[in-house]
A and B are shown apart, each in its own frame.
Chain A
Amino acid sequence: QKEVEQNSGPLSVPEGAIASLNCTYSDRGSQSFFWYRQYSGKSPELIMSIYSNGDKEDGRFTAQLNKASQYVSLLIRDSQPSDSATYLCAVKADRLAFGKGNQVVVIP
């Protein structure tokens, strides 16, 4: 089982809609959870951190963590073309493990 799994395939959303990304992880001892945004050819940029169960909101982004079910999600509200990027989920137990990412395409 992979340490961090993100559902495959690009996600296409209309401008103004909500984009929803999910991530599952295997290590129940994981304590820190992060979402990164990566534009093509650029470096990953940290956009959200979450450490306890529940929701955390920052602007148009909401991260949701459910440790019992071992998943973390990211919602992007009012999606904009500038949100078109690959989103990486990262989970830290003894080390930080990254998922392979989900591409989001916002269609104007």
Chain B
Amino acid sequence: DADVTQTPRNRITKTGKRIMLECSQTKGHDRMYWYRQDPGLGLRLIYYSFDVKDINKGEISDGYSVSRQAQAKFSLSLESAIPNQTALYFCATSGGRGEQFFGPGTRLTVL
């Protein structure tokens, strides 16, 4: 079984809809991250969490919110989706020396 899982893997939605992307991990890591990736822009950090009670904004948090329900679960929400949030979204966990392990990604399209 995969160490970091994401659901859904693909989602098409309409402008204004609320969307939740979920991430679960079995690696036992405390630190979890949400990124988006757009062609030519690389990986950009949206939010990160060092433990259940510690959540921090990344470089592009506007329009997004997160919930850390447990050590193993970290969800990303788009309260009112807009077309420029169309992207590939990755969840990641972090090990002891800073290396990050990524989930398979969610391809989100906002029409």
For A31, the chain B residues whose CB sits under 8 A away are 98
Q: Are B43 and A98 in contact (CB under 8 A)?
A: yes
Q: Are A43 and B42 in contact (CB under 8 A)?
A: no
The reply on B26 being an interface residue by CB < 8 A is: no
Q: Are A51 and B97 in contact (CB under 8 A)?
A: yes
Q: Are A98 and B42 in contact (CB under 8 A)?
A: yes
| A contact residues, range | 20 to 34
Interface size on B, residues (CB 8 A): 18
Could you mark each residue 79-111 of chain B with 1 if its beta carbon is under 8 Å from any beta carbon of chain A, else 0?
Answer: 000000000101000100111111111010000
Number of A-B residue pairs at CB separation under 8 A: 43
Q: Are B100 and A90 in contact (CB under 8 A)?
A: yes
The reply on A32 being an interface residue by CB < 8 A is: yes
Q: Which residue of the partner chain B has the closest CB to A51?
A: B97
Least CB distance from B16 to A in Å reads: 27
Q: Are B90 and A100 in contact (CB under 8 A)?
A: no
Q: Are B43 and A44 in contact (CB under 8 A)?
A: yes
For A46, the chain B residues whose CB sits under 8 A away are 99-101
**Interface, chain B (partner A; CB < 8 A):** 40-43, 45, 88, 90, 94, 97-105, 107
Q: What are 7 A-B pairs at a CB distance below 8 A?
A: A41-B105, A42-B105, A43-B102, A43-B104, A44-B102, A45-B102, A46-B101
